[in-house]
Amino acid sequence: MPRKAYRVRNWKKYNEALVNRGSITFWFNEECINHWQSEQKIKSRGRPEEYSDLAIQTGLTLKALFKLTFRATEGFIKSLLTVLNIKLKAPDYSLLCKRQKSIKIELPKKTLRLGEQLHIAFDTTGLKVYGEGEWKVRQHGWIKHRLWRKLHLAINCNSQEIEAFKLTDLGIQDCEGVPLLMDQINAPIESARGDGSYDRFSCYEEAERKGFCLITPPQRKAKTSGERKQYKRKINPDALKKRDATINEVRKLGRKEWKIQSGYHRRSLAETAMFRVKTLLGSRLATRTLEHQKVETAIWCQIINKMTTLGMPETIAIS
């Protein structure tokens, strides 16, 4: 069966959005200028904070967006303040590094309209912390220790924004990241999609707890509860029934037809979002500790959501 061809309906608007992603037109509004200095009261001995969290977050965002080092970020902020003739001091590069792990990042997201249903797509990828290049490893093998982190994303299928994220060690499985993502979403969820790695009882139990429909293909040799002799642990009976129903439906319709009727293919939007993250911001983390890396990926997700609000393509099938 040939692949469908799609056409972008809002190409002019989407093209302008792509151009604006690279715009370097900066401005500091009155709120940013007024809250650049820290307003925290001194409660203990030690040097008081000079810069607010807003100032630190601004510097870290510029660092991630333009892929700068900490020292280069300090110089970049200084030059911006000079060009814009704003009489503010730039945070020191060492201060940016120290304050990074304590910054709390909130993802900018669109507010759901009244009656709008939230559909989620899961995906997971690896981000390199340090290690040798892929070409060198392929040609000569690896001789240095390599370290990776795992980024879990929950994507809004309608707006393609990142609804939730979590950075974990490489040992955390994809299915184990589902409760971590769901706890970050307060809005009611209608459905969630994920690949075969989310076909776990824990994911179905999480779907029962949060009250959404889990759409994930069962494994090739999946067995229903009646075909299995015993389970290693006690499982929620409602979750067990939902998985049995999915297995029987796949057997009846066929895997390919089931994916079409269930709308499983919208899961590819999560892969597209992950590709967008790696293309625009890279696949390697610049910081070394897990606390700093969590804030770094949070800023990545914040940047992606802001770029998404500039404009996204609207496509229709033409064949």
Asked if pLDDT for residue 301 goes beyond 70, the answer is yes
For 245-293, how does the pLDDT look when each residue is reduced to its tens digit (9 = 90+)?
999 999 999 999 999 999 999 999 999 999 999 999 998 999 989 999 9
pLDDT band of 314, cuts 50, 70, 90: confident
pLDDT band of 46, cuts 50, 70, 90: low
| Structure-token pair, residue 213 | 């429909």
For 79-113, how does the pLDDT look when each residue is reduced to its tens digit (9 = 90+)?
999 998 999 999 999 999 999 998 998 888 777 77
Q: What is the pLDDT of residue 45?
A: 66
Q: What is the pLDDT of residue 291?
A: 93
Cα atoms in the 13 Å half-sphere on the side-chain side of 45: 0
Asked if pLDDT for residue 22 goes beyond 70, the answer is yes
Q: What is the pLDDT of residue 143?
A: 63
For residue 129, count other CB atoms closer than 10 A to its CB. 18
Which comes out higher in pLDDT, residue 57 or 25?
57
Which comes out higher in pLDDT, residue 72 or 22?
72
Asked if pLDDT for residue 233 goes beyond 80, the answer is no
For 135-168, how does the pLDDT look when each residue is reduced to its tens digit (9 = 90+)?
766 777 766 667 889 999 999 998 899 999 999 9
pLDDT band of 217, cuts 50, 70, 90: very high
Give the Cα separation of 134 and 132 in Å (integer).
7
What average pLDDT does the segment 36-56 reach?
79
Q: What is the pLDDT of residue 266?
A: 92
Asked if pLDDT for residue 28 goes beyond 90, the answer is no
Q: What is the pLDDT of residue 173?
A: 92
Q: What is the pLDDT of residue 136?
A: 67
Distances (CA, A) of 1 to 29, 256, 261, 268: 54, 11, 17, 19
Give the Cα separation of 214 and 136 in Å (integer).
41
Asked if pLDDT for residue 315 goes beyond 90, the answer is no
Asked if pLDDT for residue 192 goes beyond 70, the answer is yes
Q: What is the pLDDT of residue 303?
A: 94
The pairing of strands 162-169 and 147-156 is: antiparallel
Q: What is the pLDDT of residue 263?
A: 92
Domain with CATH 3.30.420 in the chain: 118-275
Q: What is the pLDDT of residue 244?
A: 93
Q: What is the pLDDT of residue 106?
A: 86
Among the listed residues 215, 149, 145, the one whose alpha carbon sits nearest the alpha carbon of residue 177: 149
Asked if pLDDT for residue 20 goes beyond 70, the answer is yes
Q: What is the pLDDT of residue 144?
A: 63
pLDDT band of 43, cuts 50, 70, 90: low
- According to CATH, the topology of domain 118-275 is Nucleotidyltransferase; domain 5 (3.30.420)
Q: What is the pLDDT of residue 183?
A: 92
Q: With pLDDT > 70 as the criterion, what percentage of the chain qualifies?
A: 92
Q: Could you write out the DSSP letters of every residue in the chain?
A: -PPPPEEES-HHHHHHHHHHTT-------HHHHHTSB--PPP-SSSPPP-B-HHHHHHHHHHHHHTT--HHHHHHHHHHHHHHTT---PPPPHHHHHHHHTT-------PPPPTTPPEEEEEEEEEEEEE---HHHHHHH---S--EEEEEEEEEETTT--EEEEEEEETTS-TTTHHHHHHTT--S-EEEEE--GGG-SHHHHHHHHHHT-EEE-PPPTT---TTT-S--SS---HHHHHHHHHHHHHHHHH-HHHHHHHHTGGGGHHHHHHHHHHHHHH-SB-S--SHHHHHHHHHHHHHHHHHHHHH----EEE--
